[in-house]
Structure 1
Amino acid sequence: MLKQAEEIHYESIMKVWEASVRATHHFLKEEDILFYKQLIPGFLPQVNLLVLQEEDGIQGFIGISEDMIDMLFIAPESRGKGLGKKMVEWADARYSIHKVDVNEQNEQAVGFYKKLGFVQVGRSEKDGFDKEYPILHLERKHL
């Protein structure tokens, strides 16, 4: 069930975030994971944050600002079950999202979004923290 996140969910969200990043962002250096881990809690209250809660806890979350997905992470044990697609579709139906930025080196995420109809409209050489991780800017048109 997808529901609005509350502050009591933040600890679980951070566990999902770290496990997901370690499972999918193999290009990140350890010091960068720790750097981002310190920053993420400050971003959680700044987005429309929804958690995917199952009987055994939070399996994923999505953060939305206006028409953009700011963050989407799925627990490693829940990947490949269509949960990310469901969250994107749910968010799109309610918030008309059509933009997302994704690490170029995260090929699984790039493929995921392209499969959902997103296309590259731009590229930044560095991420928003001036780190050497190129970002692809993706959009999709609504029918």
Structure 2
Amino acid sequence: MQDEQALEIRASRGPVEYPTLVEIWRSAVRATHDFLEESDFDRIESNLASAYLPAVSLIVAERAGGPVGFAGIVEGNLEMLFVTDEARGGGGIGTKLLNEAITEFGVTRVDVNEQNSGACGFYLSRGFEQVGRDELDGDGRPYPTLHLELSK
């Protein structure tokens, strides 16, 4: 396991960094979202740098001079948190990103795909609880979404 002390959480450097963040997203989603249709994957990916990343406050986890994960926040909602597949699990990257989002950005809510059991377990084990569920995702697609809130 890599030394957690070598991990830095910082603000995103903006659009110049988006191609790297898209690569992290691709790695993470390919490893954890096997339920996504290829057309949905392509549609989301094509909108990441142009629409989704600019719409959130971004923080980046960096190790050994390179980004290994990122999170996006809007008004207390964690909109995205992705860690490259090579660095995911056991290294504390997701936890550090989540903690920074909570302490520095006031995050209290997150929506997560029900079929992504790893992400569901991650948030539930870190103090979030389910407060709602939608059968369809925000785009009306058949990906049930759980609404989670940080326990008081």
* Range of TM-score over shorter length: over 0.9
For residue 104 of structure 1, what is the amino acid of its counterpart? E
Aligned-pair Cα RMSD in Å: 1.0
1: CA distance between counterparts of 2:54 and 2:11? 11
1:88 correspondence with 2:98: yes
Residue 59 of structure 1: aligned partner: 68
Residue 38 of structure 1: aligned partner: 46
Residue deviations 1:61-90, cap 9 Å, x none? 000011110000000011111110111111
1:129 correspondence with 2:150: no
- How far apart are residue 45 of structure 1 and its match? 0.9
2: CA distance between counterparts of 1:141 and 1:31? 36
Write out the 4+ residue segments of structure 1 that deviate beyond 6 Å after TM superposition: none
Residue 11 of structure 2: aligned partner: 4
For residue 100 of structure 2, what is the amino acid of its counterpart? W
Instruction: Name the SS of the counterpart of 2:132 in structure 1.
Output: strand
Which residue of the other structure, out of 68, 74, 78, is the alignment partner of 2:87?
A: 78
Q: Is the 8 A contact 2:78 2:109 kept in 1?
A: yes
Unmatched segments (≥5 aa) in structure 1: none
- How far apart are residue 56 of structure 1 and its match? 4.9
- Normalised by the length of structure 2, the TM-score is 0.90
2: CA distance between counterparts of 1:96 and 1:34? 31
Residue 116 of structure 2: aligned partner: 106
Residue 15 of structure 1: aligned partner: 23
* Matched positions, count: 142
Identity %, equivalent residues? 41
Unmatched segments (≥5 aa) in structure 2: 1-7
For residue 37 of structure 1, what is the amino acid of its counterpart? E
2: CA distance between counterparts of 1:49 and 1:140? 20
Which residue of the other structure, out of 57, 69, 78, is the alignment partner of 1:48?
A: 57
Q: Is the 8 A contact 2:111 2:146 kept in 1?
A: yes
Q: Which moved more, 1:103-112 or 1:43-52?
A: 43-52
- How far apart are residue 141 of structure 1 and its match? 2.7
1: CA distance between counterparts of 2:101 and 2:108? 10
